[in-house]
């Protein structure tokens, strides 16, 4: 059978998963009366809630007798491990760019990886129906970006498809809109190389993804590089260290639509899932026992940000979580390492674990998944991972693109410059400005909320890892202190009302608080101990005007990412299945004061 293996890559929210929906429907994978959800490939609850793709997923359609294997990849650089593995299985990429926004930071990240692998791109200019669409300019920007990223002449000679993925339409000439996705399918068959398929050579497959089933155990996913593999056949598993172990394929599947279809045999060029290889790891090579030839190990960019996980030790510990001990946390992190290749876990002793990932989003998704599974633990402030080269300290930098109203341009430029950012490009058009900065990764901790308030919610902020550069030294990203509870008990509206001019509260009246718990952000620098458990004294004498009219400012409810960005070095994030609380690392106010004096050298 003829195969085409493609990855769909683009910036977040440019329509990848929506386009896959259309391709699945128009290739008649689903029954006519079958109910199909929107963004059907985003099967994970978190993906549906956030509208982003986190895990690379496989699907396939058939068109004119050709099987097209499609890998829907994440657009966030934080999930670069998923992107890199996906690109190892394909021969070409559909590069989606928004007809108005054009190439964005994550487009650059994914495209650089694809071009370096020599993959042939097909550019799909999506959302061509937008009122502010500028297709010709976007195509020129995409071409310039490819030149900048070192594309070959063959890669620069890319075909262009115009599309409205939401409506399932595509066409090749800008002035002649199409009725369906036929032009896209035909372009794929014409321009994406057929999968190299030497079916007579000895079997070889590299494991690029893993799944797990309670019934089947570990499921290895990868592209058959050569030969063929049959159900029940013996294979050799070659590991990174050079060791090998024999195994037998118990089940064999290929992809069609959203289903895994069980087959007796799979041929070179196809993307398959197989079971029976115990303890298989991503990067292992499966071969015919008589031809043990390993493929190069899958390389993934190193982590840039780390946090420390430890058991929850607050006065409310163990009340909401199901898995609360250090052993539970360790087992869960070890299980995550099996499939999350961009993650690193290091035991620190004292029941703590340093968990390193590709960015704050990468780590916050793991934290959110664990709390939904019933885990309770505490997390430290994110820290960037420094490197030393020839005696010079290096730190990770980000390429930032801020799309803002012109009125906010000055304040955004000033704020990024004050955080040691360097302006590298500035364009203005139709009342908006696009600022591009190179900035230390740690300078962006806690910046998004500040950015949204400066732009009154109209700004778009995107950033992607841009490499390591010389460290800029000291950097202060949080100017305000915290409001810290000094008494335990239930928070009263009266107490919050009397204190609300001191800062912004994170809690509602009725919230149970403990000594050392952070209940809000101070309006000034430095921490302020407050008593939110104080209620109004009742007396027998009542005047008509005696009761104050209590009008509370609504509290600021922090998301997990906002909470991670907010906490300082001496603070922790307490994560449970039901709550996200902020606390001081040292709860007792007097002990905390003593520690501050020691730190200050007084």
Which residue bears the tokens 């497959």? 205
Q: Which two tokens stand for residue 150?
A: 């070192």
> Is 522 part of any known ligand binding site?
no
CA atoms of 123 and 187, how far apart (whole Å): 10
17 has binding-site annotation: yes
**Sign, Cα dihedral of 193, 199, 203, 207:** positive
β partners of residue 286: 205, 237
* Pairwise pLDDT comparison (262 vs 42), residue with the higher score: 262
Is 474 annotated as contributing to ligand binding?
A: no
18 is an annotated ligand-binding site residue: yes
More confident residue, 554 or 210: 554
pLDDT of residue 152: 92
How is residue 253 written in tokens? 């599947």
Confidence band (pLDDT; 50, 70, 90) for 479?
A: confident
- The three-state secondary structure class of 406 is helix
Q: Phi and psi dihedrals of 401, rounded to 5? A: -120, 115
Residue 46 pLDDT grade (very low, low, confident, very high; cuts 50, 70, 90): very low
Q: Is 129 annotated as a binding residue?
A: yes
Half-sphere exposure of 324 (CA within 13 A, CB side): 13
If pLDDT is split at 50, 70 and 90, which confidence band does 243 have?
A: confident
pLDDT (mean) for 567-574: 92
Cα angle at 135 between 154 and 64, to 5 degrees? 60
Provide the pLDDT confidence category of residue 30 given band limits of 50, 70 and 90: very low
Nearest-angstrom CA–CA distance, 49 and 44? 9
Residue with the bigger pLDDT between 539 and 52: it is: 539
Nearest to 11 by CA among 79, 90, 89: 79
Give me the pLDDT at residue 394, please: 92
Q: What is the pLDDT of residue 36?
A: 40
pLDDT of the residue at 139: 93
What percentage of residues in the chain have a pLDDT greater than 90? 36
Task: Give 102's contacts (C-beta < 8 A, 6+ positions apart).
Answer: 134, 137, 138, 141, 142
Does the pLDDT of residue 51 top 60, yes or no?
A: no
Radius of gyration of the chain (CA): 27
According to the model, what pLDDT value does residue 92 have?
92
Q: What is the mean pLDDT of residues 554-577?
A: 90
Residue 540 annotated in ligand binding:
no
pLDDT, average across residues 580-602: 85
User: Is the predicted pLDDT of residue 451 greater than 90, yes or no?
Assistant: no
Q: Per the annotation, does 127 bind a ligand?
A: yes
Question: Residues 393, 386: contact at Cβ < 8 Å?
Answer: yes
Q: Does the annotation list 399 as a binding residue?
A: no
CA–CA separation, 581 vs 454, rounded Å?
26
Contacts of 440 (CB under 8 A, 6+ apart): 384, 395, 396, 397, 398, 419, 420, 421, 471, 472, 475
Q: What is the pLDDT of residues 402-445, one digit of tens each?
A: 888 899 999 999 999 988 899 999 988 878 888 999 999 888 88
Q: What is the pLDDT of residues 99-155, one digit of tens each?
A: 888 887 666 777 888 898 899 999 999 989 888 889 999 999 999 989 988 999 999
User: Which range, of 264-268, 381-385, 595-599, averages the lowest pLDDT?
Assistant: 595-599
Say which residues have a Cβ less than 8 Å from residue 470's Cβ, sequence separation at least 6.
392, 393, 394, 395
Residue 53 — very low, low, confident or very high, per pLDDT cuts 50/70/90?
very low
Residue 356 clears pLDDT 90, i.e. is over it: yes
**pLDDT at 33 exceeding the cut of 70:** no
pLDDT (mean) for 234-254: 88
Structure tokens at 74: 């994440």
Judged against a pLDDT cut of 70, whether residue 545 lies above it is answered with: no
The confidence score (pLDDT) of residue 587 equals 92
- Domains of the chain are 3-191 (3.40.50.300), 204-287 (2.40.30.10), 387-470 (3.30.70.240), 482-600 (2.40.50.250)
Those residues with Cβ within 8 angstroms of residue 554's Cβ, 6 or more apart along the chain or in another chain: none
Here the tokens at position 386 are: 């420094």
Q: Both ends of the chain: CA-CA distance in Å?
A: 77
pLDDT digits (tens, 9 = 90+) for 315-349: 999 899 999 999 999 999 998 887 777 789 999 88
Is 455 labelled a binding residue? no
- Residue 31 confidence (pLDDT) above 70: no
Contacts from 17-20 at CB under 8 Å and sequence distance 24+? 17/41, 17/42, 17/53, 17/72, 18/165, 18/166, 19/94, 19/96, 19/124, 19/126, 19/163, 19/165, 20/59, 20/70, 20/72
Residue 34 has pLDDT above 50, yes or no: no
pLDDT at 106: 65
Question: If pLDDT is split at 50, 70 and 90, which confidence band does 540 have?
Answer: low
Asked if residue 128 belongs to a known ligand binding site, the reply is: yes
Average pLDDT, rounded, for the chain: 84
């Amino acid at each position: 059978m003829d195969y085409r293996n493609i990855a769909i890559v683009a910036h977040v929210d440019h329509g990848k998963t929506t386009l896959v929906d259309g391709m699945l429907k128009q290739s008649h994978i689903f029954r006519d009366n079958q109910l199909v959800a929107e963004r059907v490939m985003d099967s994970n609850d978190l993906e549906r809630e956030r509208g982003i793709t986190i895990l690379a997923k496989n699907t396939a359609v058939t068109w004119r007798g050709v099987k097209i294997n499609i890998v829907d990849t994440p657009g966030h650089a934080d999930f670069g491990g998923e992107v890199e593995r996906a690109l190892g299985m394909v021969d070409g990429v559909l590069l989606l760019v928004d007809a108005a926004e054009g190439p964005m930071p994550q487009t650059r990240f994914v495209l650089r990886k694809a071009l370096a692998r020599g993959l042939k791109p097909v550019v799909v200019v999506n959302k061509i129906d937008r009122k502010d669409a500028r297709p010709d300019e976007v195509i020129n920007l995409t071409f310039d970006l490819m030149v900048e990223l070192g594309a070959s002449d063959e890669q620069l000679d890319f075909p262009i498809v115009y599309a409205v993925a939401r409506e399932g339409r595509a066409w090749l000439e800008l002035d002649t809109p199409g009725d369906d996705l036929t032009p896209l399918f035909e372009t794929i068959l014409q321009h994406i190389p057929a999968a190299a398929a030497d079916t007579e050579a000895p079997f070889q497959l590299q494991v690029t993804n893993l799944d797990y089933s309670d019934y089947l155990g570990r499921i290895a996913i990868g592209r058959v590089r050569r030969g063929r593999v049959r159900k029940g056949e013996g294979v050799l598993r070659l590991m990174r260290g050079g060791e090998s172990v024999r195994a037998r394929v118990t089940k064999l599947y290929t992809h069609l639509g959203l289903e895994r279809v069980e087959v007796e045999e799979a041929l070179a060029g196809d993307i398959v899932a197989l079971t029976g290889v115990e303890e298989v790891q991503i990067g292992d090579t499966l071969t015919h026992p008589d031809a043990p030839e390993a493929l190069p190990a899958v390389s993934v960019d190193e982590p840039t940000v780390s946090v420390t996980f430890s058991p929850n030790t607050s006065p409310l510990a163990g009340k909401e979580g199901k898995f609360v001990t250090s052993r539970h946390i360790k087992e869960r992190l070890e299980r995550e390492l099996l499939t999350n290749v961009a993650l690193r876990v290091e035991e620190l002793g004292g029941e703590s674990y340093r968990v390193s990932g590709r960015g704050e989003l990468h780590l916050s998704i793991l934290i959110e998944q664990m709390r939904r599974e019933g885990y309770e633990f505490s997390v430290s402030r994110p820290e960037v991972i420094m490197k030393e080269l020839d005696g010079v300290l290096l730190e990770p930098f980000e390429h930032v693109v801020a799309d803002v109203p012109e009125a906010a341009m000055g304040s955004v430029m000033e704020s990024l410059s004050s955080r040691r950012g360097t302006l590298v490009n500035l364009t203005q058009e139709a009342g908006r400005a696009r600022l591009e900065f190179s900035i230390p990764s740690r300078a962006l901790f806690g910046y998004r909320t500040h950015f949204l308030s400066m732009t009154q919610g109209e700004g778009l902020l995107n950033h992607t890892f841009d490499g390591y550069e010389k460290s800029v030294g000291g950097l202060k990203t949080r100017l305000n202190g915290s409001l810290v509870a000094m008494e335990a008990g239930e928070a009263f509206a009266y107490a919050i009302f009397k204190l609300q001019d001191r800062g912004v509260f994170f809690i509602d009246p009725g919230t149970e608080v403990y000594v050392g718990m952070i209940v809000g952000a101070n309006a000034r620098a430095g921490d302020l101990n407050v008593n939110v458990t104080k209620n109004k004294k009742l007396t027998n004498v009542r005047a008509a005007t005696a009761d104050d009219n209590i009008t509370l400012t609504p509290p600021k409810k922090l998301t997990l990412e906002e909470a991670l960005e907010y906490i300082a070095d001496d603070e922790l994030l307490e994560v449970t299945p039901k709550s996200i609380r902020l606390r001081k690392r040292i709860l007792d106010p007097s002990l905390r004061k003593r520690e501050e004096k020691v730190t200050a050298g007084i």
